[in-house]
Amino acid sequence: MSRGTRLRVGTAAELPPGTARRLSAGDRWIAVFNAGGTVLAVDDRCPHEGGRLSLGSVEAGAIRCPVHGACFDLRTGRTLEPPAGEPLTPALEPGIRVYPVRVIGDELYVDL
């Protein structure tokens, strides 16, 4: 999928606060969250061992991976906590990729 692609998420009503959605974007997956009314999008792949972040729990603007508990800031992608019992390695430190979300009318889109 080329850069500059806009991915439709759905209507705002289809993603109420506290819910998440997983979208296919060619060779990757994007996780979209409604965190207390703010819609945020990140790669749906934990950089530790590939956990699906869309199945994780949102805690105060961060996503906790359901596999080993690493925690990432949903706005910046920064790693806030390493996986349980492990140090924060250079491979994990960059965190996850974040994507801009646009609201056009009643529709939500992710810019890739």
CB of 43 to ligand FES, least distance (A): 12
Q: Which is nearer to ligand FES, 49 or 111 (CB)?
A: 49
Q: Contact residues for ligand FES (CB under 6 A)?
A: 46, 48-51, 65, 67-70, 83
Q: Which is nearer to ligand FES, 49 or 106 (CB)?
A: 49
CB of 87 to ligand FES, least distance (A): 13
SS3 12: helix
CB of 78 to ligand FES, least distance (A): 15
Q: Are 41 and 99 in contact (CB under 8 A)?
A: yes
- What do you get for the CA distance between the two ends of the chain, in Å? 9
Q: Which is nearer to ligand FES, 42 or 108 (CB)?
A: 42
Q: Which is nearer to ligand FES, 70 or 101 (CB)?
A: 70
- What is the SS3 assignment for 50-103? CCCHHHCEEECCEEECCCCCCEEECCCCCEEECCCCCCCCCCCCCCCCEECEEE
| Number of neighbouring beta carbons within 10 Å of residue 37 | 9
CB of 22 to ligand FES, least distance (A): 15
